[in-house]
Amino acid sequence: MEIFITTAIILIILLAGLVFLTKLADKTVNVFLMAGSAIGWIFFVCFAAFYLCMGWAWKSAEYKANILNKEYNTEYSTEEVFYGSEVIEAIRGLDRTRVDLNGSLINK
């Protein structure tokens, strides 16, 4: 999460610098700086949307970890659930579905 916060701060500083430079530049350079500022804002909005989605996933991983730990008496951390939730769900699915093979007979 720290990398997202650091990246957001760097983007804000760069965009503020671009806006400041557009105020100081002459007319010919001003067009390029305005275009760069517009592109920078587009990247910033995309990053902000990504950051919000990742924050939502991180918060939901915290709740999932609490539920898994309570229901299955485990000690998963938020990081383990966030990064390995597919693996945890696959293991739990294997625990729930036990297949016994006797010739062509399959019991679930």
pLDDT tens digits, one per residue of 34-91? 777 788 788 888 888 888 888 888 888 889 889 888 888 888 888 888 888 777 777 7
Is the predicted pLDDT of residue 24 greater than 70, yes or no? no
> pLDDT-based confidence at 96, cuts 50/70/90?
low
Contact criterion met (CB below 8 Å) for 23 and 16: no
Tell me what pLDDT residue 101 has.
53
Crossing angle (nearest 10°) for helices 27-72 and 2-24: 170
> pLDDT-based confidence at 11, cuts 50/70/90?
confident
> pLDDT-based confidence at 105, cuts 50/70/90?
low
Average pLDDT over residues 12-19: 76
Evaluate if pTM is beyond 0.85.
Answer: no
How many Cα atoms sit within 13 Å of 10 on the Cβ side?
Answer: 8
